[in-house]
Amino acid sequence: MAHSSPKNPHPDTLAVHAGQSPDPATGSRAVPIYQTASYVFPDTDTAAALFDMEVPGHVYSRLSNPTVSVFEERMAALEGGAGAIATSSGQAALHLAIATLMGEGGHVVASSSLYGGSHNLLTYTLPRFGIRTTFVPARDPAAWKAAIRPGTRLLFGESVGNPSVDVLDIPAIGAIAAQARIPFLVDATVTTPMLGRPLEQGAHLVMHSATKFLSGHGVVIGGVLVDGGRFDWEAGRFATLTEPYEGFHGMVFTEESPATAFLLRARREGLRDFGACMAPMTAFQVLQGLETLPLRMARHIENTRTVVAWLASRKEVERVHHPSLESHPGHALARSLYPRGCSAILSFEVKGGREAGRKFIEGLALFSHLANIGDAKSLVIHPASTTHFRMDDAALAAAGITPGTIRLSIGLEHPDDLVEDLGRALAASQR
Amino acid sequence: MQFIVQGYPAYAYTGGVEPDFKLPAIVFVHGAAFDHSVWQWQSRYFAHHGCCVLAVDLPGHGRSPGMIRARIEDWASWLVALLDAAGLAQAALVGHSMGSLIALQAALAAPDRVRRLALVGSAVPMAVGEAFRAAAREAPDVALDMEAAWGHARLSQLGASAVPGSTLLGASRCLNARSRPGALAAALEACNAYRPDAQALGSLAVPTLVAAGKRDQMTPFKAGRALASAIPGARLVALEAGHSMMSEAPRELLRALGDFLA
């Protein structure tokens, strides 16, 4: 007998509806902005029960908020997870994941192709709290395996690295993580659930900077951490989840809920004590973006294909880095993991090195020179002097960045206008 | 908390407190391929409100090792043996789905041990379609997808969750994924085959509550209503939820149980 799973709503439908019912108080079809710090308790017994996790509900907006919950539930549905926690930024999501899983003596194995901010956190800041990181190449599973040591509590990489556009071998590293019984966190900011779902490919946790494609318009700072709910915390060495937590009435999170133990601790300790929660207005703005994410990502990818092909044909360009090109080392992997396209981010090297790069950026009129990606507007930056300037030459090389590397984030403008702007700037770079 | 039941360790969640066996006891019984945590909210609430709570992991589920039983009658014997192991002369039994049949059968077999009986998402008989049972035998992942989808109100993925930040269907599917191979198939066969003695059902003297979800896709509301009318004096509570009332309507179910168990 052939068996087929029940039909689930498509991602395009989830992006518009998941996590929201018309407001029970007013009937509002749009997600209401619950701009409130706290919530009136109907009686003292309910108040105590809410505080003690005997009934679900909202107490204080640092812990949860109805508008923010819609975003969390929508992201969990899109990623195929058990639940999610929205944070004040992508960086806060990464910190929350790490702080929930480990303390002093903890160790992370991370891809060397990371956003500069994540690299800063892992290299310079967390060692002060006794947490150290070993960086390994994104597509070298053997190096990941070799870097694991007894204190390792997390494997971490970006689905598509920023800015080198390195493609993370999620299935291979996921298999290593499963074998070593260590959770694997993927930062899927660049790919979004519209291009790939890391939890289905082998990751256990997924995070995003919601500032980028999820919100899509460059108007908010936010992040989100999604729990796949499948990792067996009790088989590993995760005392924060399996031992009584005196900070919450001796609760053993894996006993309370085997499938959502990570989320419980991250919310009950991480949001409570570190406090990096998402604001309701931010959640509303990200949700506005999410509703059109499927449409936008298709256009981002289409425009990027045009720009990549055009740049690759230009004599002023030394090299273009994008997985859609056969010359890219992640080309085959990208085709298998991201059949619809994998990145609206690309980097390239203009002939003439740093000086030509400077002239190129200053020659652009339509592209905005700024430190962000994933905006409706096309963006450009010179990583070696900005986002990654704290990295030494070896770390830059490991991240696939040279002094002449230029990163583009392709927006939603008409592709002819983008090519026109790039053409003028390339000509200026060679003068 | 661990007990030894029928020769094997048996785990029961006690609601986050040391249980006081002198208090009125409530034993919560989960359904197919789940564990004690489906009662997360209700068990914790009653444990903090004057009750001795045991939310069990049935043998072969969650933290309880042991053999998966093939018949509801055998699960029910285990449940009565758990009351013995815990030194409970009487307890209220609250069961969900397959757990409701286990609780019902325990009440039929040992009515003097059951103070009250709450059947959540129940039907007698609990017919399980051949497609679902065959999938559980031959394609367990597909069967677990069915369990998750049909175990909640239709299109529940699209609405707001009663538990902030959780996707009820996703979290439920993740919990199912932890079940032991074969657990779902055995449970579905046991539910499908169970036929309690109609005469015994019609003369059951244990006060009974049937909580039925108006949008239940597994055990339709009308089946819950029929069950309530088959048990003398049984009370029927209709909830705006699918089959997983514990998470889909946690506050409403708590209120119904609170009124009934008080």
pLDDT in tens, A377-389: 999 998 877 877 7
In a domain, A65, yes or no: yes
- Predicted pLDDT of residue A382: 85
**What is the average pLDDT across A320-325?**
95
Q: Are residues A258 and A324 in the same domain?
A: no
Nearest-Cα distance to chain B for A300, in Å, is: 26
**For A182-186, B4-8, B112-116, B152-156, which range has the lowest pLDDT when averaged over its residues?**
B152-156
Nearest-Cα distance to chain A for B63, in Å, is: 9
Q: Do A19 and B44 touch (CB under 8 A)?
A: no
Q: What is the 3-state secondary structure (H, E, C) of B58-87?
A: CCCECCECCCCCCCHHHHHHHHHHHHHHCC
User: Which chain A residues are within 8 Å of B43, Cβ to Cβ?
Assistant: none
Q: Which residues contact A255 (CB under 8 A, 6 or more apart)?
A: B13
Residues in chain A: 431
User: Which chain B residues are within 8 Å of A29, Cβ to Cβ?
Assistant: none
**What is the average pLDDT across B242-254?**
96
In a domain, A2, yes or no: no
Please state the ipTM of this predicted complex: 0.95
Q: How confident is the model at residue A27 (pLDDT cuts 50, 70, 90)?
A: very high
Q: Do B177 and A230 touch (CB under 8 A)?
A: yes
Q: Which residues of B1-28 are buried (b: 16+ CB within 10 A; e: fewer)?
A: eebebbeeebbbbbbbeebeeeebbbbb
Residues in chain B: 262
User: Which chain B residues are within 8 Å of A280, Cβ to Cβ?
Assistant: none
Instruction: Report the residue from B13, B35, B165 with minimal CB separation from A84.
Output: B165
Contact A113, A144 (CB under 8 A): no
Q: Is the pLDDT of residue A392 over 80?
A: no
User: Which chain B residues are within 8 Å of A30, Cβ to Cβ?
Assistant: none
- Predicted pLDDT of residue A1: 62
Cα–Cα distance between B104 and B112 in angstroms, integer? Answer: 13
Where among A261, A289, A317 does a domain terminate?
A289
Q: Do B157 and A77 touch (CB under 8 A)?
A: yes
Where among A268, A289, A310 does a domain terminate?
A289
Q: Do A14 and B134 touch (CB under 8 A)?
A: no
Q: Are residues A342 and A382 in the same domain?
A: yes
CATH of the domain at A210: 3.40.640.10
Nearest CA in chain A to B12: A255
Q: Which residue has the tokens 């709450």?
A: B118
Instruction: Report the residue from A3, A70, A76 with minimal CB separation from B135.
Output: A3
Whole-Å CA distances, B113 to B51, B55, B118, B150, B233:
16, 17, 14, 33, 19
Cα–Cα distance between A303 and A158 in angstroms, integer? Answer: 22
CA B208 to chain centre: 14
Q: Are residues A336 and A207 in the same domain?
A: no
Instruction: Report the residue from A1, A80, A257 with minimal CB separation from B170.
Output: A80
Cα–Cα distance between B63 and A336 in angstroms, integer? Answer: 38
Structure tokens given for A356 = 């030509």
Q: Are residues A89 and A174 in the same domain?
A: yes
- Predicted pLDDT of residue A194: 97
Q: Is the Cβ of A242 closer than 8 Å to some Cβ of chain B?
A: no
Nearest-Cα distance to chain B for A267, in Å, is: 10
In a domain, A4, yes or no: no
Nearest CA in chain B to A18: B158
Q: Are residues A276 and A300 in the same domain?
A: no
Contact A277, A88 (CB under 8 A): yes
In a domain, A407, yes or no: yes
> Residue B87, class by beta-carbon neighbours within 10 Å (0-12 exposed, 13-18 middle, 19+ buried)?
exposed
Residue extents of the structural domains in chain B:
2-261
**How many Cβ atoms are within 10 Å of A284's Cβ, its own excluded?**
20
pLDDT in tens, A240-297: 999 999 999 999 999 999 999 999 999 999 999 999 999 999 999 999 999 999 999 9
What percentage of chain A has pLDDT greater than the value 90?
A: 87
Q: Do A255 and B13 touch (CB under 8 A)?
A: yes
CATH of the domain at A368: 3.90.1150.10
In a domain, A5, yes or no: no
Structure tokens given for A118 = 């994540």
Q: Do B165 and A72 touch (CB under 8 A)?
A: yes
Structure tokens given for A305 = 């294909």
Helical (H) or strand (E) element with A345: strand A345-350
Cα–Cα distance between A102 and B117 in angstroms, integer? Answer: 44
Q: Do A258 and B35 touch (CB under 8 A)?
A: yes
Q: Are residues A341 and A279 in the same domain?
A: no
By residue range, what is the domain housing residue A237? 11-289
Q: Are residues A249 and A328 in the same domain?
A: no
Q: Are residues A134 and A74 in the same domain?
A: yes
Q: Are residues A157 and A262 in the same domain?
A: yes
Q: Are residues A97 and A228 in the same domain?
A: yes
Chain B, 146 to 165: residues with Cβ < 8 Å from chain A are 146, 149-150, 155, 157-165
Q: Do B174 and A259 touch (CB under 8 A)?
A: yes
Nearest CA in chain A to B172: A82
pLDDT in tens, B105-139: 999 999 999 999 999 999 999 999 999 999 999 99
Q: Which residue has the tokens 């959640």?
A: A283
User: Which chain A residues are within 8 Å of B166, Cβ to Cβ?
Assistant: 73, 76, 82-83, 260, 263
Category of B261 on φ-ψ map: left (φ > 0), alpha (ψ -120 to 50) or beta: alpha
**What is the average pLDDT across A86-100?**
98
Q: Is the Cβ of B131 closer than 8 Å to some Cβ of chain A?
A: yes
pLDDT in tens, B143-202: 999 999 999 999 888 888 989 999 999 999 999 999 999 999 999 999 999 999 999 999
In a domain, A1, yes or no: no
Stated pTM of the model: 0.96
Contact B137, B200 (CB under 8 A): no
- Which phi and psi (to 5°) does residue B46 adopt? -65, -30
Chain A, 2 to 41: residues with Cβ < 8 Å from chain B are 3-6, 8-9, 13-14, 17-21
Q: Is the pLDDT of residue A72 over 80?
A: yes
Q: Which residues contact A210 (CB under 8 A, 6 or more apart)?
A: A71, A86, A90, A220, A222, A223, A224, A278, A282, A286
pLDDT in tens, A132-164: 999 999 989 999 999 999 999 999 999 999 777
Q: Is the Cβ of A72 closer than 8 Å to some Cβ of chain B?
A: yes
Nearest-Cα distance to chain B for A22, in Å, is: 8
The DSSP code sequence of B33-45 is T--GGGGHHHHHH
- Which phi and psi (to 5°) does residue A71 adopt? -65, -45
Nearest-Cα distance to chain A for B20, in Å, is: 17
Whole-Å CA distances, A348 to A23, B77, B80, B214:
48, 71, 71, 59
Q: Are residues A186 and A85 in the same domain?
A: yes
**How many Cβ atoms are within 10 Å of B215's Cβ, its own excluded?**
18
Contact B114, B90 (CB under 8 A): yes
DSSP E strand boundaries for A8-142: 83-87, 107-111, 132-136
Nearest CA in chain A to B166: A83
pLDDT in tens, B47-58: 999 999 999 999
Contact A342, A191 (CB under 8 A): yes
- Which CATH number is B2-261's, of 3.40.50.1820, 3.40.718.10, 3.40.50.300, 3.40.1370.10? 3.40.50.1820
**What is the average pLDDT across A358-372?**
93
Where among A242, A261, A289 does a domain terminate?
A289
Instruction: Report the residue from A56, A76, A230 with minimal CB separation from B167.
Output: A76
**What is the average pLDDT across B234-248?**
97
Nearest CA in chain B to A58: B164
Nearest-Cα distance to chain A for B249, in Å, is: 10
Domain count, chain A: 2
